[in-house]
A and B are shown apart, each in its own frame.
Chain A
Amino acid sequence: MTAGAKATGRGRKGLETSRQVYPALKAYKIEMEQAKEEGKLIAWCGGGTTSIEILHAMDILPQHIDNMAAVFAAKQLSKEYCEAAEEDGLPHDFCSYYRTMWGYVKVGDKADPRVASIAWPDPDLIVGSNSVCTTHANGAKMLARHFGVPVFNFDIPTIHPRMDVHRDPDHRYKEHSHIGTTYPHELEEHYVNYVLEQNKRFIEFLETVTKRKLDVDRLKEVVSLSSRASQFFFELQDLRRAVPCPVGGADIMSLVTPSFIWAGTERALRIYQEAAAEARGRVERGEGAIKPEKFRLFFESIPPWYNLGLFGYLEDRGAISVIEAYPLMFCCLMDFEKPLESLARKQLSWMYNYSMIERHDFCLRAAETYHLDGAINWNVICCKIFAGFAPLFRDRFNDVLNLPVLTLDADQADPRDYAQGQVEGRIDAFLELLEQRKDATVNVGLVA
């Protein structure tokens, strides 16, 4: 696609709770600034799940690098910072989250003074992990070198396919409800121990940095809060199976933020509790997020944060995203009595840590239980992980379920690779195809 991006549309959120997320994020920015003045520490985190519950338990305020870049994009500020990073040597095809953040740390508000209203305080420490991609682990080190702050990197091993459930013909893909959550993988002991020991080292690292001891009871409390919040988030996702669907994709993409940065806090618990209650009420009343609901879609991958209005475009045409894999990955049900083991399991169970075939089983299962008509596959061109997954997603949807998939190539944070007219044109054509398929089904039904 060519350049020609324009300031694209904001996400249209149906839930009152979703609309509270951004104000809460702004409030958190102020809290972080105040905390910094009081001598509290700020941690920038990158890469899947980085045991932010331990940070909260030690009164360190976390911020997620992906979330920062996503907010820059949503506020239409990422373009300037991606360009700044490219001027500094990072190529255009490099991860746009890191291009955005690298551009920001290099030029600050010189690129755009509006950034002051959304930028978070500089980090006192950085936490990285390779659980989603290798860029995060070494990107975290790059940022740590820039700021001259200590860095801790988790090494999360990919789950070996011998632990894949799909290989067991008795399980197949219908067995488990949530990958990365209540996923019934029997993780081998040395996997759990390997990560558990790293969590112990993480605590030692933090104790050295803060010169304070971790209060284990406080950690248990935080893990419990994180798990309870996850439970409500999963309930919210389960409720979306209802026809009509009570909550659309833009809401969920906003609601993913608490699990990114506030897992283990009352704030996340409250938000997810309220969101689930709102959705529950809607289901009980038979209310859908849109009316009429013509097409139910699976939205795969990281959305274009600079244009969450994309979901509104779909909804205006009777199509709603009823399930997305990406937001599910940051939540996990945990046993607070075993906080470190639980956190290790959470890090290992991260959806993108499994074989793609295994994680795709989740998508196939969702297609049945969420009554899908098709899927949109946002092929993030700078993300080697999602771009690598996209063809398999398309093929298995087609081959196993005979469901159509629309693959759209564009970026997650860099709007220069987005062509609004082209994307909308392809969506229109895709919805026409879905309409024809529905008509064909009805006609066949009548003949029969």
Chain B
Amino acid sequence: MPFQDLSLIDCEALQKDALESWKRSGSKILGYVCSAVPVELIYGAGIAPVRMIGREIPIAAANSKYTNYSCYFARSIYELADRGEYGLLDGTVFTYSCDCLRGLVDKWQYDFDQLYFYFLVRPQNSDVPGALDFFVKELHDFQRSLEDFVGKKMTQEALQESIRLYNSNRELLSKINGARGERITGSAALELTFAAMLLPPHEGNRLLQKAWSDLPSASLTFRGPRLALVGTALSNARLPALIENCGGMVVADDLCTGYRAWSGSVQPEGDLLRNLAAHYLHGADAGSQCPVMSTKGRLPARLNSLLSFKEQGRIDGVVFATQRYCDPQQLDNQYLFSALGDRNIPALKLEVEESVDASQTQTRIEAFLELAEQRRNN
């Protein structure tokens, strides 16, 4: 087996153990949904931030109590909360991630009792003069709110330590994801990325370090079609796994629950809130800014990023995995798909709900991989 098999890693069990142990120490846990939430601040306050990414479950309560005209990602998060599966959380932190999640935020407040709730306002256009200053002010308020919640001032050292911890988390994820197609499969790398977000950061780092040291050191370059996976949020790695079963591999991604969450690092010196604001406002990589952002040049940068992957020979094609009802990504798809087509770069659009329907999608992926391989060989 050239690639690490992660089927033995039970993320949920790991998370449960880690969170229960964290709670026993008397510390608090907050859930968050969006990769734009500065987790460093939460952890700097001595609280464990745990990402809520939903799960593949039948939706019932969310359709009646929240809405059925929202993406599966948002509805599955509501469903899990309704089932009481976020019982270990002391509260949640949301931001205006997108219009679907905007609706979830308010219904969440109304339906679920929680000790803590915070809605972080982040500008959606990073090149508006004053956007950074505005966001710094909002982060100050967020910091105060967290301090009130734990009853303790956050020290500069604690925040610095938290930033360093998350930087090493990102560095590890960057190394692991950078080895996709050579030392690890795309699906396994995504599973590890999820695991890192589901655990408190010190536990996440421990897992990532072990995974990194366990990866086979020899380069076992994958020979089939190599793909970039583009979209917003995925709750599981079934799609990259299906692509692998069909003979391809995801070696790059532009996802909220993937690259966007681990790219770059935060400067741990100087004005820390300003450093955090810059990281979470501008995004670590201009080529992977969130599709809700209306920053000038964001979309061409997203395209250029894919084009440069292609030029460097890193990918043979692009798969768009778009959550149903995700208007921001659909608008980006409209531009990216046609621009890739103009350049004769193979691209496939898939709609994701609960997950991918393997029986229907498999044939499309197989045909697409065949095309991508042909184009590569021509």
Contact = CB atoms under 8 A, between A and B. Distances in A.
B100 interface: yes
Contacts of B294: 128, 130, 134, 137-138, 141, 153, 155
A216 interface: no
A391 B67 contact: yes
Interface in A90-138: 90-91, 93-95, 128, 130, 133-135, 137-138
B334 interface: yes
A415 interface: no
- A88, A193, A392: most-surrounded residue (chain B CB, <10 A): A392
B137 interface: yes
Interface stretch (B116-124, B200-208, B223-231): B116-124
B107 A388 contact: yes
A93 B328 contact: no
B69 A91 contact: no
B154 interface: no
Interface string B123-163: 11100111101100110010000000000000000000000
Contacts of B64: 391
Interface in B88-114: 96, 98-100, 102-107, 109-110
Interface in B35-81: 64-67, 69-70
Contacts of A336: none
Interface residues of B, number: 50
B106 A355 contact: yes
A357 interface: yes
Interface residues of A, number: 50
B132 to A, nearest CB: 11
Given A155-B294, A160-B141, A387-B70, A130 B124 contact: yes
Contacts of A89: 333-334, 337-338, 349
A384 B141 contact: no
A162 to B, nearest CB: 7
B107 A392 contact: yes
B106 A357 contact: yes
Nearest to A387: B69
B99 A135 contact: yes
Interface SS majority for chain A: helix
Contacts of B349: 89
Contact of A94 (B104, B109, B330): B330
A350 interface: no
Interface in A133-147: 133-135, 137-139, 141-142, 145
B123 A157 contact: yes
A384 B133 contact: no
A201 interface: yes
A130 B97 CA distance: 12
A22 interface: no
Contacts of A191: 134
A190 B131 CA distance: 10
B324 A385 contact: no
A138 B131 contact: no
A384 B70 contact: yes
B339 to A, nearest CB: 11
Contacts of A198: 128, 130
A157 B335 contact: no
B327 interface: yes
A4 interface: no
Contacts of B129: 197, 201
A134 B328 contact: yes
Nearest to A385: B99
Given A158-B121, A197-B130, A388-B67, A134 B292 contact: yes
Interface SS majority for chain B: helix
A29 to B, nearest CB: 28
Nearest to B142: A160
A194 B133 CA distance: 9
B100 A384 contact: yes
A390 B328 CA distance: 21
Contacts of B328: 134-135, 138
Given A130-B124, A388-B67, A390-B67, A138 B331 contact: yes
A382 to B, nearest CB: 8
B8 to A, nearest CB: 38
A263 interface: no
Nearest to B136: A190
A286 interface: no
B325 interface: yes
B30 interface: no
A395 interface: yes
A137 B125 contact: yes
Interface string A145-174: 100000001010111111000000000000
B103 A388 contact: yes
Nearest to B134: A194
- B133, B324, B327, B328: most-surrounded residue (chain A CB, <10 A): B327
Interface string B205-218: 00000000000000
Interface in A343-399: 355-357, 379, 381-382, 384-385, 387-392, 395-396
B102 A93 contact: no
Contact of A155 (B67, B110, B128): B128
Given A141-B299, A155-B131, A384-B102, A91 B119 contact: no
Nearest to A390: B67
B351 interface: yes
A382 B119 CA distance: 25
A396 B110 CA distance: 9
A155 B125 contact: yes
28 contacts: A89-B338, A93-B69, A95-B327, A133-B327, A137-B294, A138-B291, A142-B335, A153-B125, A153-B294, A155-B123, A155-B124, A155-B125, A157-B123, A157-B134, A158-B102, A160-B138, A194-B130, A355-B106, A356-B106, A356-B107, A357-B109, A384-B69, A384-B102, A384-B103, A384-B327, A387-B70, A389-B103, A389-B106
Chain A to chain B: the 3 pairs with minimum beta-carbon distance, closest first: A388-B103, A356-B106, A384-B99
Interface of A: 88-91, 93-95, 128, 130, 133-135, 137-139, 141-142, 145, 153, 155, 157-162, 190-191, 193-194, 197-198, 201, 355-357, 379, 381-382, 384-385, 387-392, 395-396, 409
Given A89-B349, A138-B332, A194-B130, 10 more contacts: A89-B338, A94-B330, A128-B294, A133-B99, A134-B99, A158-B119, A387-B69, A388-B70, A388-B102, A391-B67
